[in-house]
Structure 1
C-alpha cells in the first residue's frame, strides 16, 4: 500500500499552525453566526428570530437551553422521520441511534452531511496532533481499524436512514479513504456483536494496522481475544485513539497489548458533534475543536436547573469549575444540553477534561455524590477493577449505596466498602454529614467476576457499538433490576 503519510505531513504543518493561531472567542462566535444564517429560514430559525441575532449574547437571550427530550417532543417527533426544514435546512438524511447510559432511553439524533464532513475533519485533526507530536510516525503506511457497531442502516423513509453513528460514518467515508479503512463492509455489517468480534479477531490484518480506534471497553475485548502468548496483536500499531468512557480504568489493562512506542490519544466525540481532541500529554486536557461545526457553551452544573443559568463560552470560561456542555451544530441542534460534565484546565487555548455526566449523581438521600467522586474512590482502592456500577437502595426508612464491582482481587467486599466509605466521607461534605447524622447507612459492595458485565450487557441487548456500561443508575427501581441481572438472577 502506498504510504500517504507525506501528504498527511503537509496537511499537519498547515493545519496545526492554523489551530494554534485561532482566536477561540472570535472563531466560535463567527461559527455560531454562520450556523444561524444557514438555519434562519427553518421553522426553528423563524420561531427564534435567527435573522436578528448578531452576537453570542443575543443568541443566548433568544434561544433557551434544551435537553434531548425537549427537542424530540417539540420539534422532531411530530414530523419524524421526515424532518425537512425543521431545525436544519433540507431533509435530515440520517438519525444516529444513541443509547442513554443513565436513563436507558434510546435517542434519535439528527445527522447531516455537513456534520459528517466536520467529523472527518476532526478525525484528521486527531492524526495531525499525533504527527505533530511524533514527526517520524507513519500512520498512513497501513490501515486504520475502527471498532464500531454494525454499519447496517435501517430505511426509515425515502432518503432517510437510521442506525449506529459508526455505520453512518462508514457510509459517508469518501471512496478514496475507504482503501485505508478496515474492516470491509461485509464484516462491518455483521449485526451480532459476538459474531462480529470473533470475525474481526480472526480476519484482522495484524501486520497492516497502524491506527486503532474505539471505546476502551470494547477495544479491551478485541485485544484480549487476539492476543497470542501475550504478544501485541498489532505489531506495527502506532496510535490507539480512544474515547467514550474514562481511560484510567483501562490504561493498565490495555497497555500489555500495545507494541513498544505505540501512542494513545483521547478524543471527545458524541453522536451530536465532535467536541475536543487530546493535543498534548495524557491528563493535560483535550483541545477544544473550535472550527468544525460546533458552537460550544458551558453551564455551571449547579445552575443547570435554575430558571436563568449562566451560559459561558470560549470567551468567558474559567478553569477548575464543573460545567455541563451545550452544543449548537450543523445538524440543527441549538443550545442542546449534551449531558456531559467537563472541567477546563487551561483557557488559552481551551483545554478540558471530561469528569462525568450530568445525571451521574447519587442524591436519592440528599448526599450529592458525583460519578467522578465514586470513580476516584474506586481508583484509590489500589486493586485492579474492570467495569462497575452503583446506585441507591432503601433499607427500611434509611438508604445506602450499593457498588457492583468487577474484580478478581483478593480484597474482601466488606474491606472495599469500608475504604470506599472513608474516601467519600473525606471528599464529600454532604455525604459525610448524612453518614454521621445517621440518615445514610454504610455502603455495601458486591463483587462479580471479570466478564460478568459483558454477559449482562449481552443479555440486555446492549453489547458493542455505541453502548456503554452505566456507571451511576440514580433510579432505585432501575438499579435494582440491573443488580439482579448482574447477580445472574
Structure 2
C-alpha cells in the first residue's frame, strides 16, 4: 500500500497554520450564520424568521433550546422517514439510530451529506494532531481498524436509510479513505458480536494495522480475544499489531480503563488518543496528552452553546458560547448542526480547561446525575472515585454501574449500590470492603453535598458494593441485546427495575 503519510504531513502543516491564526469566536459566528442562511427557506427557518438573524444574539433570541423529544414530536414524527425541507433543505438521506444509554429510548438522529463532510474534516484533524506530535509517523502506510457496530442499513423509504452511525460512516466513506479502512463491508455487516470479533481478529492479522479505534470496554474484550488467537502475545498489543501507532478511544470516560490500556501498550510505540464524537456531530479531539483536555473543532458546520448544568431546566437559561465561556464550570452541551438540529440539548456535560484554543473534559451526562437523596453526584466525580478506590487495592475496574437503594421504611436510610467487575479474578471480601471505604472517602472529598449526607450517617448509608465476576457485564449486555459496537454499559442507573436486573444477574453469574 502506498504510504500517503507525506501528503498528510503537508496538509497538517497548512491546517496547523490556519488553526494558529483562527479567531474562535468569529469562526463560530460565521459557522452559525452560514447554517442559518442555508436553512432560511425551510419550515423551521421560516417559523423562526431566519432571514432576520444577523448575529449569535439574534439567533439565541429567536431559537429556544430543544431536546430530542421536542424535535421528534414537533417536526419529525408526523412525516418520518421522509423529512423534506423541514429543518434542513432537501430530504434527509440518513438517520443514525441511537438508543438512550439509561432509558433505552430509540432516537432517529438526522444525518446529511454535509454531516459526512463535517465528520471527515474532524477525523482528518485527529490525524493532523498525531503526525504533528510524531514527525516519524507512517500512519498512512497501513489501515485503520474501526471496531464498531453492524454496518447494515435499513432503507426506510426510497433513498432514505437508517442504522448504526458506524454503518452510515462506512457507506459514506470518502474515496481516499476506503482502501485504508478495515474491516471490509462484508465483515462489518456481521451482527453477532462474538462471531464478529473472532473473524475480525483473525482477518486483521493479515493487514498492516496502523490505528485501531472503539469504545474502551469493547476494545478490552477484543484484545482479550486476540491473546487467544495469538498465543505467544503475552497480552501485549505490540506482539499483535507491531506497527500500531495510534489507539483511539471515545464514547465513555477513560479513567477506569487508563491503567489497563497502559499495560496492554507496554513495548508498543502506539499512543492513546481520545475523541469526542456523537451521532449529532463530532465535537472535539485529543491534541495533547490524556487528561489535558480535548480540542474543540470549531469550523466544520457546527455551532456550540454551553448552559450551566444547574440552569438547564430553567425557562430562560444563560447560553454561553466560545466568546464568553468560563473555565471550571460544568456545562450542558447545546448543538446547532448541518443536519437540521437547532439549539439541540445533546445530553452531555463538559468542563473547559482552556479557552485559547477551547479545550474541554467530558464530565458526564445530564441524565447521569446521582441525586435520589439530594447528594448531586455527577459522572466525573464517580469515575474519579471508582478509579481512586480501585488503585487503593491495586486492582483495575473493567466495568461498573451504580444506582440508588431506596429505604424500605421511613426510619431507615437509603444509599448507593455499586456493581463492579474487576480485571482480576478472586477479589476478596476484605478488598471489596476496602474499595467501598476508599470510594466513600474520595466522593466525600470531591462532593460537599455527598459529604454532608454521609456525615454521621444521617442522610446516606455507606456505599454497598457487589462483586461481578469477570465477563458478567458483557453477558448482561448480551442478555439485553446490547452486546458490542456502539452499546455502552450504563454508569448511573436511576431505573430501579434495571438496577435490580443487573444486581440479580451479577449475583447469579458464574
TM bracket, shorter-chain basis: over 0.9
Aligned partner of 1:113 in structure 2 is: 113
TM-score (norm 1): 0.97
Aligned partner of 1:236 in structure 2 is: 243
* 1:384 aligns to 2:392 (yes or no): no
Deviations 1:377-420 (A, max 9, x none): 11111131110000012231331110111023345333322222
Report deviation, 1:9.
1.1
Aligned partner of 1:476 in structure 2 is: 496
Aligned partner of 2:376 in structure 1 is: 368
| Aligned residue among 402, 414, 424 for 1:399 | 414
Deviations 1:117-176 (A, max 9, x none): 110111011001100111110111011111111111011111111100010010001233
Contact map agreement 2:110 2:340 (CA 8 A) in 1:
yes
Mean CA deviation greater in 428-437 or 117-126: 428-437
C-alpha distance 206-247 of structure 1, shift in aligned 2 (>3 A): farther
Aligned partner of 1:424 in structure 2 is: 443
State the SS of the aligned residue for 2:77.
helix
Report deviation, 1:206.
5.2
Contact map agreement 1:164 1:465 (CA 8 A) in 2:
no
C-alpha distance 488-76 of structure 1, shift in aligned 2 (>3 A): farther
Question: What is the aligned residue count?
Answer: 489
Task: Could you tell me which runs of 5 or more consecutive residues in structure 2 were left unpaired when the two chains were aligned.
Answer: none
Deviations 1:344-401 (A, max 9, x none): 1011110111111111111111111112212111111113111000001223133111
Q: Give me the whole-angstrom Cα distance separating, in 1, the residues matched to 2:343 and 2:276.
A: 18
Contact map agreement 1:206 1:234 (CA 8 A) in 2:
no
Aligned partner of 1:190 in structure 2 is: 190
Aligned partner of 2:434 in structure 1 is: 415
State the SS of the aligned residue for 1:441.
coil
| Aligned residue among 302, 313, 317 for 1:305 | 313
Task: Could you tell me which runs of 5 or more consecutive residues in structure 1 were left unpaired when the two chains were aligned.
Answer: none
Q: Give me the whole-angstrom Cα distance separating, in 2, the residues matched to 1:446 and 1:249.
A: 17
Contact map agreement 2:322 2:358 (CA 8 A) in 1:
yes
Report deviation, 1:481.
2.7
Q: Give me the whole-angstrom Cα distance separating, in 2, the residues matched to 1:439 and 1:393.
A: 12
Contact map agreement 1:405 1:445 (CA 8 A) in 2:
yes
Q: Give me the whole-angstrom Cα distance separating, in 2, the residues matched to 1:196 and 1:13.
A: 38
* 1:127 aligns to 2:147 (yes or no): no
Contact map agreement 2:255 2:383 (CA 8 A) in 1:
no
Aligned partner of 1:30 in structure 2 is: 30
Mean CA deviation greater in 82-91 or 431-440: 431-440
Mean CA deviation greater in 470-479 or 107-116: 470-479
Contact map agreement 1:243 1:269 (CA 8 A) in 2:
yes
Runs of 4+ in structure 1 off by over 4 angstroms are none
Q: How does 1:29-178 map to 2 (within 5 A)?
A: 29-178=29-178
Contact map agreement 2:114 2:338 (CA 8 A) in 1:
yes
Report deviation, 1:207.
5.3
* 1:454 aligns to 2:461 (yes or no): no
Aligned partner of 1:346 in structure 2 is: 354
State the SS of the aligned residue for 1:91.
coil
